[in-house]
Structure 1
């Protein structure tokens, strides 16, 4: 009985070792195939049979499915939700007044170079050529964006231009300290979602994860600029993007009001 047990254990051990050796061999073939593919000029020659064979392994299939799920989730969360062409708009009543360029001394001196004031909707469009920005007076202001649908926001992206591309030769009008909040339609409730600093010495496009995560979805997002980089007359914003997952109807505030029973109902 004991000898039979030993034989079974030996067979199992040999089977495991053989399977592991087979997996290692396939892994090496898979790595060699892609190494050849990545050589300069793509001149490496290899057989795709090993790749196809390796990709059918259950372990690889599970890994591929997990990677695909992660990629799709990331794309959903990073999708642009504040795009004018998709239906995003500006709540003018709760947005700072646009800066009047006619009052600017630089524009009075070089009036041919200055165009009319751009509306706040400018920040919802992908055109970020120099001068295509929305400006408000002073170093503090706000803009409220109405998204096409309620979203559970995860990050915000702010874009300015590089100093070398600036018509004035400076980026002192870029926003500096910024807060982001979710607000309701009437403006009575406000939920702080995050605060960050836009760095003019870094990349022109900067994304900021919202650290104050909320399970609630918002259709109105308020971007409040607390300071800029030194321009006393105006602050310019080129583009604002809101990222996050579009909420289901049951998780939106409007749906909650619709589905919740009324306390006064008899």
Structure 2
């Protein structure tokens, strides 16, 4: 029987019983395994990198898509606001509402949308609906008295013509009949038979006015009661139907005072008349124009006004006064 001869390694780093060839084979296997693992790790890194890159691109695409959608929404909203602003400006230019009312209109629509919590965007229909309501309110106001403010000079409410400057009468028989039919004012002067027109609703008919001689004229009016005055409204016939607009009043002053007795032709004249304001009636505006008094004037108490017209729009013969309205508020009872 042959005996196998083993060659023991004398290398102290080699475990007993393992040959050098086997050790080399183990080292080669270890190197190959390490290299394979490195390759696998690189492949995993590449795969993860590609997935991350793809995910990053997806996120960027979604962000860009959302940004584009948001930009589009903002542009649409801007366009809607511009359209609404344009509509409101047209309503303002047409005299149906003031700039303040226009802003309040937009604010009311926004508040309505917020209250509904529907997320519905603002549209021109919203403006049209709100504008229609304003128009209807304006029509109702016009049907009442044109401007929707209390008139303390209204004849049917107790206002009276106290006195006016010399009336203008056309020549001929009709003119003399007019003079004969005229009454006397509180001051004893001839009262024009058309004087009452100043304190009555005007329906835009040419000639239905109080004609006063010259361009420097006046009229004094007793109000229905004591008030704190805040504005006066002067009305003339519309230019579109006027025969001659040169007789329309232009520059004028308004005075006010408190008469203690306006009856039976006896007037206790005040020591001083208060200047309520100086204004100018323009032919370029509405035929009905309201002029506000300074705030400090509203603290005063009056029951009589004098409208002193210092110039008209060109007529040297006469000035026509269609209607005068005086606005304000009544004092509290403890004032007296």
* TM bracket (short chain): 0.5 to 0.7
- Quote the residue 2:68 is aligned against: none
- Size of the aligned set, in residue pairs, is 183
Aligned counterpart for 2:115 among listed residues 27, 49, 56? 27
**How does 1:1-266 map onto structure 2 within 5 Å?**
26-29=114-117, 32=120, 38=126, 78-92=149-163, 95-102=164-171, 118-128=193-203, 129-166=205-242, 168=243, 170-185=244-259, 186-188=268-270, 189-211=272-294, 213-214=296-297, 215-251=299-335, 255=336
Measure the CA separation in 2 of the matches of 1:247 and 1:211.
18
Give the alignment's TM-score, normalised by structure 2: 0.48
Q: Partners in 2 of 1:34 and 1:183 — Cα distance?
A: 52
CA shift in 2, pair 1:37/1:31, >3 Å: farther
Distance 2:112 2:128 in 1: 26
Mapped partners of 2:112, 2:320: distance in 1? 57
8 Å contact 1:152–1:244 — kept in the other structure?
yes
The structure having more radius of gyration, on CA atoms, is 2
Alignment deviations for residues 126-163 of structure 1 (CA, whole Å, 9 cap, x no partner): 12321111111000111111111101110111011122
Taking structure 1 as reference, are residues 32 and 118 closer, same or farther at Cα in structure 2, changes over 3 Å only? farther
1:212 positional shift? 6.1
Distance 2:308 2:119 in 1: 50
Q: Which runs of 4+ in 1 moved over 6 A?
A: 33-37, 39-42
Distance 2:314 2:127 in 1: 50
Change (3 A) 1:36 1:206: closer
| CA RMSD, 1 decimal | 3.3
Given that 2:229 and 2:300 are in contact with CA atoms closer than 8 Å, whether structure 1 keeps it comes out as no
Structure 2 unaligned segments of length 5 or more: list them.
1-110, 131-147, 176-181, 183-191, 260-267
* Structure 2 residue matching 1:172: 3-state secondary structure: helix
| RCO comparison, higher one (Cα < 8 Å, 6+) | 1
SS at match of 1:121: helix
